[in-house]
């Protein structure tokens, strides 16, 4: 009897010490990218991409109350969220506009596209939401200041569905940015 009790305690202790490995997610465009020479914009460049401080950590974020946020411990970004968002938006803007936006430091006399993500998280009612701003700067003048706010229902439960919904929201943001570039073209920065 003592041996059976000892084995049960040992088995329970072994189960309790097992940890669930974290799941890592990437923000990558679902569009198929092709090899080749890229067409770069002569009029626009990609400036700063800022991320709200509450998002700048490894865990995916959920709103758990009116002003309460919780970062996941086991569902993490595979790279800093800043890098993922910047790369995702750069790819999607290029796919939508047909031109790559080089970083501002590699260009001259371009209108600079600056972006700020203020919100990008899940909600307890099964949605992903985004609030973002972008502004176009030509020389020392802000020529356009824009906001995009939207929410999208998750198609399933879980963090994978949250990432999918956030990607759709970021893709829509990229379309809006591309449309604003078309509205402000074909002026060059020298005009």
**CATH code of the domain containing 167:** 3.40.50.10610
Per residue in 74-119, pLDDT (tens digit) is 999 999 999 999 999 999 999 999 898 988 888 888 999 999 999 9
Question: Could you tell me if 128 and 122 are in contact, meaning their C-beta atoms sit under 8 angstroms apart?
Answer: yes
Look at residue 112 and tell me if it is in a domain: yes
Structural domains counted in the chain? 1
Q: Nearest Cα to 157, choosing from 114, 128, 116, 182?
A: 128
In the 8-state DSSP scheme, what is residue 54?
A: G
* Per-residue model confidence (pLDDT) at position 15: 54
DSSP state of 126: S
Is 147 a domain residue?
A: yes
Q: Residue 17: inside a domain, yes or no?
A: no
Which range marks the domain in which residue 144 is found? 24-184
Inside any domain, residue 36: yes
Task: Decide if 6 is inside a domain.
Answer: no
Residues 93, 41: contact at Cβ < 8 Å? Answer: no
- pLDDT exceeds cutoff 90 at 5: no
Q: Answer with the residue of higher pLDDT: 9 or 176.
A: 176
Tell me if 98 is assigned to some domain.
yes
- 7 inside domain: no
Residues in the chain: 191
Closest CA to 76 of 51, 90, 91, 55: 55
* Number of separate helices (H) and strands (E) present in the chain: 3, 8
Asked if residue 152 lies in contact with residue 123, where contact means CB atoms within 8 angstroms, the answer is no
pLDDT averaged over every residue in the chain: 87
pLDDT for the residue numbered 41: 83
Residue 106 belongs to some domain of the structure: yes
Query: Which pLDDT value is given to residue 37?
Result: 77
């Amino acid at each position: 009897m003592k041996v059976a009790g000892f084995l049960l305690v040992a088995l329970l202790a072994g189960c309790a010490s097992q940890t669930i490995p974290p799941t890592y997610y990437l923000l990558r465009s679902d569009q198929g990218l092709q090899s080749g020479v890229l067409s770069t914009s002569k009029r626009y460049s990609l400036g700063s991409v800022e991320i709200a401080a509450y998002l700048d950590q490894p865990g995916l974020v959920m709103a758990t109350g009116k002003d309460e946020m919780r970062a996941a411990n086991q569902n993490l970004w595979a790279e800093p969220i800043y890098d993922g968002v910047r790369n995702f938006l750069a790819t999607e803007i290029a796919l939508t506009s047909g031109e790559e936006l080089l970083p501002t430091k590699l260009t001259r006399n371009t209108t600079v596209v600056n972006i700020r993500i203020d919100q990008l998280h899940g909600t307890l009612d099964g949605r992903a939401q985004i609030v973002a701003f972008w502004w176009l700067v030509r020389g020392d003048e802000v020529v356009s200041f824009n906001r995009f706010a939207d929410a999208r229902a998750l198609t399933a439960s879980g963090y994978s569905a949250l990432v999918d919904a956030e990607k759709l929201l970021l893709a829509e943001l990229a379309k809006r940015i591309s449309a604003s570039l078309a509205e402000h073209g074909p002026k060059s920065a020298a005009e």
